[in-house]
């Protein structure tokens, strides 16, 4: 997110607006959102991750990103090329308040979403922008499929896949 919002002044407010847009116009209507008092997860079921925002929503996103708006388009294009074509649940966002990390909030939300994917007999997919998080996801059965290198100083994204588990509870 720092790459998309590199300007420190007003970043916190713009990030709050960004996640509000994502919740109210993308993941809320199309997907599944859960939260604890210290973490949140946004999932999309098969066939919804590739749906694009309407013109008004796109204008709001471009306004938030300002001169950095082309970065988002470039990153989404690269991620879209790497995304699996077979039906799957997509973990779009999993985040926890840094002060609460390590207390199980993210794990609980991840397990909840994986249970839904498993109940549907579908695999799960995500793109981690932090190499340090790969081990966390691997503990839940994800494996790295690919590395996506975003040019222009952009982040590396690790695309990760987890097959559905029939024995999930």
Q: Is the per-residue pLDDT at 102 higher than 80? A: yes
The whole-chain average pLDDT of the chain stands at 88
pLDDT attached to residue 168: 53
Residue 59 is part of which domain span?
11-162
pLDDT digits (tens, 9 = 90+) for 42-94: 998 887 756 667 788 888 888 888 888 888 888 888 888 888 999 999 998 89
The span from the CA of 82 to the CA of 14, in Å, is 28
Q: What pLDDT sits at residue 18?
A: 87
- Maximum average pLDDT range among 12-21, 73-82, 125-134: 125-134
- 3 domain residue, yes or no: no
Assess whether pLDDT exceeds 60 at residue 40. yes
39 vs 28, residue with greater confidence: 39
Question: Shortest CA distance to 166 belongs to which of 112, 109, 124, 120?
Answer: 120
CATH code of residue 55: 3.40.630.30
**Average pLDDT, integer, range 22-48:** 83
DSSP 77-121: HHHHHHS-SS--EEEEEEEE-GGGTTSSHHHHHHHHHHHHHHHTT
**Residue at 29 is within a domain:** yes
Give a yes or no: residue 150 inside a domain.
yes
pLDDT score recorded for residue 115: 95
55 within domain boundaries? yes
SS3 content of the chain, % helix, strand, coil (to 5): 45, 20, 35
pLDDT at 137 exceeding the cut of 90:
yes
- Classify residue 63: in a domain, yes or no: yes
Domain count, the chain: 1
Q: Is residue 105 part of a domain?
A: yes
Give a yes or no: residue 168 inside a domain.
Answer: no
**pLDDT attached to residue 149:** 93
Percent of the chain at pLDDT > 70 equals 96
Token readout for 148 is: 């996506």
């Amino acid at each position: 997110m720092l790459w998309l919002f590199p300007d420190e002044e007003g970043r916190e407010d713009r990030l709050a607006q960004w996640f509000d847009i994502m919740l109210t116009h993308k993941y809320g209507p199309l997907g599944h959102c859960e939260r604890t008092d210290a973490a949140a997860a946004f999932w999309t079921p098969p066939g919804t991750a590739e749906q694009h925002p309407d013109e008004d929503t796109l204008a709001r996103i471009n306004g938030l990103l300002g001169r950095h708006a082309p970065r988002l388009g470039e990153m989404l294009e690269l991620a879209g090329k790497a995304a699996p074509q077979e039906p799957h649940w997509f973990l779009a966002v999993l985040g926890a308040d840094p002060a609460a990390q390590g207390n199980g909030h993210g794990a609980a939300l991840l397990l909840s979403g994986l249970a839904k994917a498993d109940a549907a007999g579908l695999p799960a997919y995500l793109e981690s922008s932090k190499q340090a998080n790969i081990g966390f996801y691997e503990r839940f059965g994800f494996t790295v499929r690919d590395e996506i290198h975003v040019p222009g100083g952009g982040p590396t994204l690790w695309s990760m896949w987890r097959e559905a588990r029939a024995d999930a509870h």
